[in-house]
Amino acid sequence: MSSSPVARLLLPLLLCAGALGFLSRCHGARAAEAPRYVTVSAASFKPGSTCRDPDPVAPRRNGTSAVLRLTHRHGPCAPARASSLAAPSVADTLRADQRRAEYILRRVSGAGAQQLVGSKAAATVPASWGYDIGTLNYVVTASLGTPGVAQTLEVDTGSDLSWVQCKPCAASSCYSQKDPLFDPARSSSYAAVPCGGSACAGLGLYASGCSAAQCGYVVSYGDGSNTRGVYGSDTLTLTATDAVQGFLFGCGHAQSGLLTGIDGLLGLGRLPVSLVGQTAGAYGGAFSYCLPTKPSTTGYLTLGGAASAAAPGFATTQLLTSPGAPTYYIVMLTGISVGGQALSVPASAFAGGTVVDTGTVVTRLPPAAYAALRSAFRSGMTAYPSAAPNGILDTCYDLSGYSTVTLPSVALVLSSGATLTLGADGILSFGCLAFAASGSDGGMAILGNVQQRSFEVRIDGDSVGFRPGAC
């Protein structure tokens, strides 16, 4: 019986992910070098009340890139116009996170993974850690229209269409935001997208008929939130020297669900309507981001740039795609180590690939992989009293009264031997092991934003690179 193209693609990757011995031979040098334990101050898990890095963007500006500052929406580094609404509870955050993860897994279920066979200057947009769409996501500030109006936008690698709330919008249809609603009538560069044109046809699954000859759009998110309105174009100013003329976006007139506070969303997915797709001619379709570890630190988002995912300092792996859900950036997880020791997980458990998603909070693993991780981690945490489970997180600890905490190290091994050795903030969050089981063995996993924090994640052509300690 001949094997399928997907099976032929995955076979070389899976041979290195099976038995412990195979993992040692394929990736052992990197996995074995990982530290066995990570000791940190217990205070480091607290959010902090003072911004420790007020502008990480300025040192990175150069002739080939423009960097936007990324900050936690509710933290001390947030811009003055960031949402003043109270942050959601941990329970609410985790419930919304579970809905998003389930939505992603439904979209990619049964689709398999295959090699991406195709995907100049640079612009970098600073981002902020936010709570929109119900999860711990990140925001950047950009300017829309002429004259420009500042907009605080969520950054999302798991969706494509960008949008902002627009006038006119009834109070019952638009949620509260701190910035004024964008008014297309006051922008000299705004143009409505007509029905029947190529731009309207390019909306694909986001299309929603016509309204007064204007092209309509609708986007539904994994947590049940949605936005709808008309499709238009205007100037999107990323920095003082970087502007996108004729940027296509949704002018939202009706939003519902868990959307609160932010002005809109900046889609960084893989379809042509995303910011990455629309600016591919200028920036080559490459981008990178660094998510801050906590609200008192900052990160950045960069479009283009001279460095590639294979540049020095990056652990690089192959970029895959799911034919049934082409929006997502997918890599192949092949192994996990805890305390410097590789876990024995069947190769078949990782066969579905792993979505790299800024909008999912905690990493989701196939059941066999999560069970092995949990068991090894618990064995290394016997010095600390356990605490009650917190929603989807079932391995939690009471660390009150401790001045320092020593955690077993956790490293994620990807195809080509790329290894992500996580910091303490990528291991423990909300007082719990920041991983959960979902789906089935052989199904898709999700690399959440907790585990991506402090890494520069660079997506360039057919590869994804991870550089530690970047913000």
Distance CA 196, CA 21 (A): 59
Tokens of 56: 């990480």
**420 with 452: CB under 8 angstroms?**
no
Distance CA 232, CA 223 (A): 26
Find the length of the chain.
471
Q: Looking at 97, 132, 156, 179, which residue is catalytic?
A: 156
Q: Who's near 198: CB < 8 A, 6+ residues apart?
A: none
Cis amide leading into 168 (omega within 30):
yes
**163 with 217: CB under 8 angstroms?**
yes
Give the single-character DSSP code of 184: G
**128 with 70: CB under 8 angstroms?**
yes
Q: Who's near 153: CB < 8 A, 6+ residues apart?
A: 139, 140, 141, 142, 162, 164, 262, 263, 264, 265, 266
Tokens of 379: 């064995």
Q: Who's near 18: CB < 8 A, 6+ residues apart?
A: 346, 347
The two beta strands, 149-156 and 264-267, are parallel
Assess whether 441 carries a catalytic annotation: no
**CA angle at residue 339 from 336 to 343, to 5 degrees?**
35
Helix, strand, or coil (residue 123): strand
Give the single-character DSSP code of 17: T
Give helix then strand counts, H and E, for the chain: 9, 34
DSSP string, 175-200: --BSSPPB-GGG-TT-EEPBTTSHHH
Cis amide leading into 147 (omega within 30):
yes
Q: What's the distance, CA 172 to chain centroid?
A: 30
Q: Looking at 160, 179, 234, 357, which residue is catalytic?
A: 357
**152 with 79: CB under 8 angstroms?**
yes
Half-sphere exposure at residue 15, Cβ-oriented, CA atoms within 13 angstroms: 7
Distance CA 37, CA 210 (A): 58
- Which alpha helices (DSSP H) does 202-299 contain, by range? 275-278, 280-283
**463 with 295: CB under 8 angstroms?**
no
Assess whether 55 carries a catalytic annotation: no
| Beta pairing partners, 421 | 411
Q: Just list the catalytic residues.
A: 156, 357
